[in-house]
Structure 1
Amino acid sequence: MMSPVKLPEKERILIVRLGSVGDVVRTLPAVSSLRSCYPDATIDWVVQELSADVVKSVRGIDHAIVLPRRRWVRMIKKPRYYPRLFKEITGWIRALRKRRYGTILDFHGILKSGVIGVLSGARRRIGFKKGYCKEFNYLFNRFHVDPKDPRLNRVFKNMEMIHAVGCDGSLPKVWLTPSEKDRERVEKFWQEIQPVHPPVVAIQPSSSRNTDFKRWFPDRYARLCDMLVETLGATIILTWGPGGRKAVEEVQGLMTQPSHIACSTSLMELSALFQKCDMYIGGDTGPMHLACFSGLPAVVIYGPTDARVNAPYPHSLHRIVRVDLPCSPCRDKTCTRLDCMKMITPDTVFREVVTLWETIQQEREGTASNRPAELKKGAVGRR
């Protein structure tokens, strides 16, 4: 591992973590520690469109530089847009170089992030060593961080990066903070679904376009939702993201008990919605990590992905549901057996939900018992 390097107090630092949503939010503790270590530094962040509003909401980030990848991909398919595309790309690079960064922290570790680091003009480019990055990324960086453990939780792997620039200390507690505008949109939806009965459970049955192999089965989500309503009197809110509306409609159509489909949201609006709920249930997806960093207790269903590498935020309250099989985790997108998912039943998940709900209630009662008498009433109610 590289020896820790102490940066100048007023260093200009560029963080490169372009996406995805889960990986972006799992970089937040490292960024928080970096800001505490270098309070007078300029810290900017390059991010793609989808996760930009998360980065813009982060306290301690001076400037979010949006890489308009989707726009450029659309333009590259139409030759008539090539002159405009060339102008936009070169203009974006010039603007990046004008900010005169001294240090790049490449958390992403792919070809694209490595190229951005070089194009920035920064001389001190720090990334992960070979074996902990992809697409020959290590060739673009001058200093390399060795996390030692290939199965290290991603949150702690990111912390290794900032330890390399002289930042020590334990994992900080970092929670997303939606704006008032984000909360207003969610409040309108919340009023529409009244009355709500605790526990209010946010369930995201969908996954992103390229990660369907991580998705539990719609009929099992539907059965679980019915059990929660029948047994706990829960209010079910089915959340969704880009391309996920059909998935929640499918689950709702299979249910026998009432549920609500959430309004369309930005990521920070979704975080605001999560902060009004009691619990989250879903698979190993970006919204799960968003929920955990929003302070929402979660029950997480793991199949072919590594529950150790992709575990929820350590400071969050959560329960993990998985089946220990010789072939899991495999991340095999072409697997047709899906034993790791088939062996997880609605009853199994329901038991974890009940356990977590009991823990939540106990924690709230404990908090209420330490409050003045006039504040105890309603301590277990809505946030």
Structure 2
Amino acid sequence: MRLLVVKLSSLGDVVQTLPVLHDIHARFPQAKVDWVVEEAFAELVRQAPSVERVIPVAQRRWRRSPLSPRTRGERGAAHAELRREAYDAVIDFQGLVKSAVVARRARLAPGGFTATYGNRSELCGYEWPVRYLLQRKVAMPLRIHAVARARLLAAQALGYAVPGDAPVYPWTLDVPASPPQVLLAHGTTRADNEWPAADWVALGRVLTAQGFDVLLPQAGDAEAEFAGRVAAQVGAGARVLPRMGLPALLAVMRGCSGLVGVDSGVAHMGVALDLPVVEIFSQPRAWRAGPVGRPHQRSVGGDGAPGAAEVIAAWDACWEARPVADLA
């Protein structure tokens, strides 16, 4: 069986779709799975050993110059890659017109089919025309976690029982750094997700007092300035990471001992690595995107941003509950 996963973006959504790989291979051990994804996230998907082939697309960039020779050439190459293999199933895990169009371009094997979500779920992206663009429409509950939604779609589309266990991600950790490091994932593209600098400083000081080094990533000038201010006030033991791409950041995170972050793709990467994670929510959406199924991963906040004391207490609880194998 050869399957094609269509999940183009964004970072957090791509990461939260990764558990379907384990589910599929648990039911179909010989299945070959390819994945279509935005070019910015292609290298992260390649870190999943169970993905046979990653097909990058650049829809975001192509929209800026749709008629340029480069865009036409890249579109043609991507289309050829989609037609290179014949798929028994093409599953659109995005549920948007742009992803459904990609799914339609893939070549189907005899008896093969396309599938996607049959309806909108609360706080999940969905565009109703996809019901008419793809063949099988899988009904979804109105209120469902993002990871459970993807796992349910795969199970219903491929005809196996919906898994009831905690999601399993394909990424693994390295030997933890010494002294142990905690990544503070402060960056977010949404202003209403931000957590105050004073609270990051308070958290950082507690972590360094506990013997952790504190790492602050940055992906732009504004984040670099913010991280620099926090690190300077935390003092010794806190440092700002150089600007790096997502694969390099994932490599750094593989050696970390934990993560505290706002609701963001980087925080979801920490969950996928099975680190002790505290994810900070400033809106009531933890039920849809927060960590689930593991005592060493928790969400805090909701109707408003939590205070530093609540986050520190959650971190202490997550650290105490971390897997026994990490206690050495």
| TM-score greater than 0.5 by the shorter chain | yes
Rate the CA distance shift 1:239–1:84 in 2: closer, same or farther, 3 A: closer
Q: What does 1:230-249 correspond to in 2, within 5 Å?
A: 230=209, 232-241=210-219, 244-249=223-228
Q: What does 1:205-354 correspond to in 2, within 5 Å?
A: 205-208=186-189, 211-230=190-209, 232-241=210-219, 244-315=223-294, 317-323=296-302, 328=303, 340-341=304-305, 344-354=306-316
Q: What does 1:10-29 correspond to in 2, within 5 Å?
A: 10=1, 12-29=2-19
State the 1:205 CA deviation. 1.0
State the 1:197 CA deviation. 3.8
The counterpart of 1:201, out of the listed 167, 170, 182, is 182
TM-score between both structures, scaled by the size of structure 1? 0.75
Distance across 1 between alignment mates of 2:102 and 2:271: 30
The question of whether the paired residues in 2 share the 8 Å contact of 1:57 and 1:177 is answered with: no
Rate the CA distance shift 1:92–1:173 in 2: closer, same or farther, 3 A: closer
Distance across 1 between alignment mates of 2:193 and 2:246: 20
Structure 1 stretch displaced more, 99-108 or 241-250: 241-250
State the 1:56 CA deviation. 1.0
Q: Which residue of 2 aligns with 1:89?
A: 75
State the 1:82 CA deviation. 1.9
Distance across 2 between alignment mates of 1:163 and 1:226: 45
Percent identity reads 23
Rate the CA distance shift 1:267–1:40 in 2: closer, same or farther, 3 A: same
Q: Which residue of 2 aligns with 1:372?
A: none
Q: Map Cα deviations across residues 53-95 of structure 1 (whole Å, 9 max, x no partner).
A: 121121221110001234424534xxxx623322332332133
> Aligned with 1:246: secondary structure?
helix
Q: Map Cα deviations across residues 342-375 of structure 1 (whole Å, 9 max, x no partner).
A: xx22122112222223333xx54xx5xxxxxxxx
Rate the CA distance shift 1:255–1:130 in 2: closer, same or farther, 3 A: same
Structure with the largest fraction of strand: 2
State the 1:315 CA deviation. 4.1
The question of whether the paired residues in 1 share the 8 Å contact of 2:19 and 2:170 is answered with: no
> Aligned with 1:155: secondary structure?
helix
Moved over 4 A (4+): none
Q: Which residue of 2 aligns with 1:61?
A: 51
Superposition RMSD in Å: 2.6
Distance across 1 between alignment mates of 2:45 and 2:59: 16
The question of whether the paired residues in 2 share the 8 Å contact of 1:173 and 1:315 is answered with: no
The question of whether the paired residues in 1 share the 8 Å contact of 2:291 and 2:298 is answered with: no
Distance across 1 between alignment mates of 2:248 and 2:73: 33
Distance across 2 between alignment mates of 1:355 and 1:317: 7
TM-score between both structures, scaled by the size of structure 2? 0.86
Rate the CA distance shift 1:88–1:49 in 2: closer, same or farther, 3 A: closer
Amino acid across the alignment from 1:170: G
Structure 2: gaps (5+ residues)? none
Q: How many pairs were matched up?
A: 317
Distance across 1 between alignment mates of 2:234 and 2:42: 35
Q: Which residue of 1 aligns with 2:120?
A: 131
The counterpart of 1:176, out of the listed 171, 175, 180, is 171
Q: Which residue of 2 aligns with 1:333?
A: none
> Aligned with 2:286: secondary structure?
coil
